[in-house]
């Protein structure tokens, strides 16, 4: 069996040589991924294999890697355990870098910065996750906690669990976020009901619920900006 590598390509088309000559910005998404994969499979060099993987991710470029499961990766011709691990690690590394950069700009009163910080964590999930961001008396971000996994429904979310976690962390202000796997962040009736119920529960114990942000596919909606909160902060 012949394995095709980028050595079979002309010098100007080899990702390593191209990177050395023109810099990383000159590389396409397929070429960047090919550098990590190193070699292709029978009938495909590493760039062609990378293009096939990216197409499997829905033609979203490197962002699409985040949505590929282990089983989806290993169904691709030539992707075994080692390459699947490499790809998932690349996706996780990019997610952590994006989140780390977003944290530097995180401000409790800046909806965009909060949504941006959690975007890569939540936008690719196939189930709804409710996350709580917590802030101290000086408005410093002190941590986050996944409150529930599943439908965000007023009757299924326990205000007690949220408040206990907030009090345990000495949080005085919180922001709730959850994702819509459909990619559309438009709030449902249940989202609105849960927000009103949770905001009242926070008020009763002296914790300020600043916002409830719904994350879609690189989009978000703030329920505060939609008018479901009073200015109690």
pLDDT band at 166 (very low <50, low <70, confident <90, very high): very high
Average pLDDT (218-224) is: 94
User: Which pLDDT tens digit goes with each residue over 27-56?
Assistant: 888 888 888 887 777 778 888 888 888 888
61-106 pLDDT per residue, tens: 787 887 788 888 888 888 888 888 888 898 888 878 877 776 766 7
231 belongs to a structural domain:
no
Q: Say if 191 falls within a structural domain.
A: yes
Tell me: do 95 and 112 sit in the same domain.
no
Domain assignment present for 170:
yes
What does the DSSP 8-state code read for residue 75?
T
Asked whether residue 216 is assigned to any structural domain, the reply reads: yes
Q: Give the domain CATH number at 135.
A: 3.40.140.10
38 and 139, same domain (yes or no): no
- Please provide residue 12's backbone torsions phi and psi, each rounded to the nearest 5 degrees: -70, -15
Mark which of 70, 99, 128 sits at the end of a domain: 99
Q: What is the pLDDT of residues 115-164, one digit of tens each?
A: 988 998 898 888 899 999 999 888 888 889 998 888 766 545 778 889 99
Residues 32 and 113 reside in one and the same domain: no
Domain count, the chain: 2
Q: How many CB atoms lie within 10 A of CB 64?
A: 18
Residue 1 has pLDDT above 50, yes or no: no
Residue 230 lies in a domain: no
Judge if 205 and 128 occupy the same domain: yes
39 and 134 part of one domain: no
Q: Residue 31 falls within a domain, yes or no?
A: yes
pLDDT digits 0-9 by tens, 171-202: 999 999 999 999 999 999 989 988 998 999 99
Q: What domain range is 68 assigned to? A: 6-99
pLDDT for 105 equals: 64
Residue 213 belongs to some domain of the structure: yes
Residues 6+ apart with CB under 8 A from 118: 99, 131, 133, 144, 177, 213, 215
Residue with the bigger pLDDT between 14 and 215: it is: 215
Residue at which a domain ends, from 72, 99, 126: 99
CB neighbour class for 195 (10 Å; exposed up to 12, middle 13-18, buried from 19): buried
Domain boundary among 53, 83, 99: 99
């Amino acid at each position: 069996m012949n394995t095709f590598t980028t050595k079979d390509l002309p010098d100007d088309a080899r990702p390593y040589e191209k990177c050395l000559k023109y810099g990383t910005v000159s590389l396409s998404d397929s070429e960047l991924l090919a550098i990590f994969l190193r070699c292709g499979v029978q009938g495909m060099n590493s760039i062609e294999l990378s293009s096939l993987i990216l197409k499997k991710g829905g033609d979203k470029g490197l962002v699409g890697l985040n949505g590929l499961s282990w089983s989806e990766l290993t169904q691709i011709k030539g992707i075994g355990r080692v390459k699947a691990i490499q790809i998932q690690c690349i996706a996780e590394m990019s997610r952590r870098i994006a989140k780390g950069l977003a944290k530097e700009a995180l401000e409790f009163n800046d909806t965009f910065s909060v949504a941006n910080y959690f975007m890569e964590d939540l936008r690719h999930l196939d189930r709804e996750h409710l996350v709580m961001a917590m802030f101290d008396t000086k408005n410093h971000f002190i941590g986050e906690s996944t409150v529930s996994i599943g439908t965000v429904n007023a009757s299924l979310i326990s205000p007690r669990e949220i408040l206990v976690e907030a009090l345990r962390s000495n949080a005085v202000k919180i922001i709730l976020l959850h994702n819509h796997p459909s990619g559309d962040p438009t709030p449902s009736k249940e989202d609105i009901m849960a927000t009103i119920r949770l905001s009242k529960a926070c008020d009763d114990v002296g914790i300020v619920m600043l916002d409830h942000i719904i994350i879609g596919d690189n989009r978000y909606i703030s329920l505060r900006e939609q008018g479901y909160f009073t200015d109690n902060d």
